[in-house]
């Protein structure tokens, strides 16, 4: 009894220590280290994946189209860049040539049937055939891609909710994104059918083609049109061995998003609610310590996979390449 009284405080201490130890162990086990995802290296490519293919890339002068064009050439494709930005288009073509790639730049406005037909005719003249296309050219607002933001002058052409949307804004965005994608797709499909050996098309939608976005009326509606076009073309051309899929990204670092963020700053300054007024980040942006956007190279990875024979069982898909934006 006497011994027990003497050792009792030690037992108590040992108990307290072991509870503390258990707590520390449990806590450290339930708090794993956070990690940012490293984007794919811009120099990465899958050797020979597109060897011998001839592909058209609309909007290939800059942004997502530029990265896709550069990597497609490294993977063995002869690349035709179609864009209405001549200086940037030629610069991208030069980069491809400097890497040892085969390339042609054709100044094209995808809103024009004549331009789209000429694009295909020039492709055949230079490379003798066509195997596929990335229909990527698009706009977010009613302003020519090369023009800088000037909020006061361009107000009527900028992204807007329905009640304040102008005809000019709606018509321009629809002419490029919906009608232009249709016209370029039509010219490409006619050639693929003529050659009779199948092919692959990748259209570029957006999260705006999978869900609504604040203050972005015409962009959202036009990107839903792109995804509708993608699905109906997949049905019509499956019998001819032509696959048609779309990619649908969230914020990806390009000149388009640089301008979009400038625009969001301007509307916030003026106390207008609209674009950027609801959800603004994908799941991966939200969890990244620097809130990193997708890179155009990450988008090129999925686009070129869908364009290549690796995707031989995929058609009619509208893939969310959106860092989890539409998952929550
Ligand atoms: N960057 C993003 O966060 C994002 C998100 C979702 C969807 N997208 C889509 O991805 C595609 C590429 O966008 P980006 O971010 O690289 O933008 P970007 O503006 O940097 O590039 C688009 C390219 O398309 C060209 N283009 C536009 N209209 C054209 C026309 N009528 N004829 C010929 N060329 C034309 C532009 O000159 C430009 O080179 C677009 O369809 C866009 O809607 C981009």
CATH placement of domain 53-321: 3.40.50.720
Across the range 41-59, mean pLDDT stands at: 98
- Please, where are the H alpha helices in 128-216? 151-154, 167-173, 181-195
Across the range 142-171, mean pLDDT stands at: 96
Across the range 7-20, mean pLDDT stands at: 58
Q: If you search the block for the tokens 């492709």, which residue do you land on?
A: 123
The C-alpha atoms of residue 299 and residue 107 are separated, in whole angstroms, by 24
- Pocket residue to mutate for ligand 1, from 57, 58, 62, 63, most atoms within 8 A of Cβ: 63
Point out the catalytic residue in the list 169, 219, 237, 319. 219
Farthest CA pair distance, the chain: 105
Chain mean pLDDT for the chain: 93
In degrees, rounded to 5, the angle at the alpha carbon of residue 262 between the alpha carbons of residues 261 and 264 is 60
Q: Name the residue among 79, 80, 109, 85 with its Cα closest to residue 183.
A: 109
Q: What is the pLDDT of residue 272?
A: 79
Q: What is the pLDDT of residue 15?
A: 56
CB neighbours of residue 211 within 10 Å = 16
Specify the residue with its C-alpha closest to ligand 1, atom 8.
206
Across the range 32-54, mean pLDDT stands at: 97
The pTM for the full model equals 0.92
Name the band, by pLDDT with cuts 50, 70 and 90, for residue 60.
very high
Q: What is the pLDDT of residue 8?
A: 60
237 catalytic? Reply is: no
Q: What is the pLDDT of residue 170?
A: 98
| Contact assessment for residue 242 and residue 192, using Cβ atoms and an 8 Å cutoff | yes
Give the least confident one: 123-132, 174-183, 265-274: 265-274
Name the band, by pLDDT with cuts 50, 70 and 90, for residue 1.
very low
> Is residue 171 over pLDDT 80?
yes
**Cβ < 6 Å from ligand 1: which residues?**
58-59, 61-65, 83-85, 108-111, 136-139, 145, 176, 180, 204, 206, 249, 251-252, 254-257
CB neighbours of residue 126 within 10 Å = 14
Number of residues written out for the chain:
328
> Is residue 22 over pLDDT 60?
no
- Pocket residue to mutate for ligand 1, from 205, 218, 254, most atoms within 8 A of Cβ: 254
Cα(8) to centroid(ligand 1), Å: 76
| pLDDT tens digits, 217-273 | 999 999 999 999 999 999 999 999 999 999 999 999 999 999 999 998 988 888 877
| Contact assessment for residue 124 and residue 191, using Cβ atoms and an 8 Å cutoff | yes
Specify the residue with its C-alpha closest to ligand 1, atom 41.
138
- Please, where are the H alpha helices in the chain? 2-29, 63-74, 86-98, 113-127, 151-154, 167-173, 181-195, 217-237, 255-269, 283-287, 296-307
Query: Per DSSP, what are the bridge partners of residue 106?
Result: 82
Name the band, by pLDDT with cuts 50, 70 and 90, for residue 102.
very high
Cα(88) to centroid(ligand 1), Å: 13
SS3 313: coil
| Domain boundaries defined on the chain | 53-321
Cα(63) to centroid(ligand 1), Å: 7
Name the band, by pLDDT with cuts 50, 70 and 90, for residue 34.
very high
> Is residue 21 over pLDDT 80?
no
- Is the four-CA dihedral 200, 205, 207, 210 of positive or negative sign? negative
164, containing H or E segment: none
Name the band, by pLDDT with cuts 50, 70 and 90, for residue 29.
low
> Is residue 20 over pLDDT 60?
no
Q: What is the pLDDT of residue 253?
A: 98
CB neighbours of residue 284 within 10 Å = 21
Q: Name the residue among 227, 232, 111 with its Cα closest to residue 174.
A: 111
């Amino acid at each position: 009894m006497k011994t027990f009284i003497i050792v009792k405080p030690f037992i108590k201490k040992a108990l307290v220590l072991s509870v503390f130890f258990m707590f520390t162990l449990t806590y450290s086990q339930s708090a794993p280290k956070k990690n940012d995802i490293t984007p794919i290296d811009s120099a990465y490519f899958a050797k020979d994946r597109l060897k011998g293919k001839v592909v058209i890339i609309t909007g290939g002068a800059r942004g997502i189209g530029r990265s896709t064009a550069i990597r497609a050439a490294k993977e063995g494709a002869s690349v035709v860049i179609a864009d209405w930005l001549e200086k940037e288009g030629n610069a991208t073509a030069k980069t491809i040539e400097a890497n040892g790639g085969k390339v042609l730049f054709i100044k094209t406005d995808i809103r024009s049937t004549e331009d789209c037909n000429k694009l295909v005719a020039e492709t055949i003249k230079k490379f003798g055939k066509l195997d596929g296309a990335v229909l990527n050219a698009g706009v977010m607002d009613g302003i020519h891609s090369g023009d800088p933001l000037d909020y006061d002058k361009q107000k009527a052409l900028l992204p807007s909710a329905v009640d304040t949307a102008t005809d000019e804004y709606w018509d321009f965005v629809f002419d490029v994104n919906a009608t232009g994608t249709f016209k370029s797709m039509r010219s490409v499909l006619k050639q693929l059918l003529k050659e009779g050996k199948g092919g692959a098309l990748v259209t570029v939608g957006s999260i705006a083609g999978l869900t609504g976005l604040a203050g972005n009326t015409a962009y959202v509606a036009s990107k839903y049109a792109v995804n509708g076009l993608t699905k109906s073309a997949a049905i019509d051309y499956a019998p001819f061995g032509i696959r048609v899929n779309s990619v649908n990204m969230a914020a990806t670092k390009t000149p388009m998003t640089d301008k979009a963020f400038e625009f969001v700053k301007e509307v916030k300054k003026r106390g207008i609610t609209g674009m950027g007024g609801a959800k603004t980040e994908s799941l991966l942006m939200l969890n990244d310590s620097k809130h990193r956007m997708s890179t155009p190279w990450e988008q090129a990875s999925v686009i070129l996979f869908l364009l290549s024979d690796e995707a031989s069982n995929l058609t009619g898909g509208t893939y969310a390449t959106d860092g989890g934006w539409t998952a929550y």
